[in-house]
Amino acid sequence: MMKYKNVRFEYYEVVYRTKDSTNNKDKLFDLVRWINKANKINALIDRTYDFYSEKARLEKAQFDDDFNYYFLHFVRLGDNIPSKGKLDGKVEPLELDDDEYIGNEVTALYDEDHHILMLQRNRSSLGPSGVEFYLNRLWDNEEETIHLRPIAPKGMFENVKKAEKFRKIHLKFADIHSKKPAGNGPVIAMLNNFGKFEGVTGEVVISVGRTKDKSLDSQTMIDTIQDIMDNQDNGLMKKAELHYKYTDDTAVEIVDLFAKKTHDFGSFQMEKRTTLSHEAIAEKMHEIYHQNNKKRKILDYLMKE
């Protein structure tokens, strides 16, 4: 049976702040300058830096002539060694030489025209703060500090209400008994029933499954979105993720109504005993950002700031 792996991608604006800036205002940073500097360091060991108790490195950064974007490939080198085992044998730790590490990778797409970085998330590798640390470590400029500024989605509640089809909703609740919910819609009715379990937290996933032409009831979903809007500031909900389509002809969109970062997910078929390659992830990023035109939405969000 074929397995699938979902990978999260987040969007950032690459900016910098100067040391003598009076208002500490962000300015757009040209990451191509950084890439050119990095590529002058030919030896991998010379662009490998200590990162907490591990190490971080840029494997490569180059412009892709087919996709017309820059792609960066980072790796976090750790020495927490996993074990290996056979069905009929004992588990043993993997053996590494003194100069060998476990590598956990992330890929980034950079749109130089708009200073936008699309970053793969991998909990075992460098996150946004780790990439930010690495950018500044290599840049080594006391006058300029590079930052990855999250691009927040705008008008999410209004936009999702216009959807034609709702495929899935994923809700997480916290401190159910200590918060007073607002409203009287489907979510509130659900929470009232939670009380019977004497629980503190809860999680609910409702979907139409793999059937492509079905939708959750539209009016119920609109009422649910209103419940989420009414309770977005009281700490009752930790997550409200929607999978929806504006029309039959558009791709499924995924949005977390409480997220402060615009993000997407890419699905990959995984063969046994394989890992995702940098090239496969780069191709998927280009598909989402350029071919599916997520770029247009990102630019729209930036214009509304």
Q: How far apart are CA 123 and CA 63, in angstroms?
A: 26
Query: Which stretches of the chain are DSSP H helices?
Result: 31-39, 128-139, 156-160, 186-194, 218-230, 278-286, 294-303
Quote the pLDDT of residue 21. 60
Tokens 């591990």: give the residue: 54
Q: How far apart are CA 202 and CA 175, in angstroms?
A: 9
Q: What is the pTM of this model?
A: 0.73
Quote the pLDDT of residue 98. 60
Successive 10-residue mean pLDDT values, the chain, 305 residues? 82 89 78 96 92 90 96 85 69 66 84 96 89 95 92 79 90 79 81 78 89 87 86 80 84 78 84 79 95 91 78
Quote the pLDDT of residue 118. 97
Distances (CA, A) of 208 to 178, 186, 205, 237, 251: 32, 17, 10, 22, 16
Single out the residue of 232, 254, 240 nearest to residue 10, CA to CA: 254
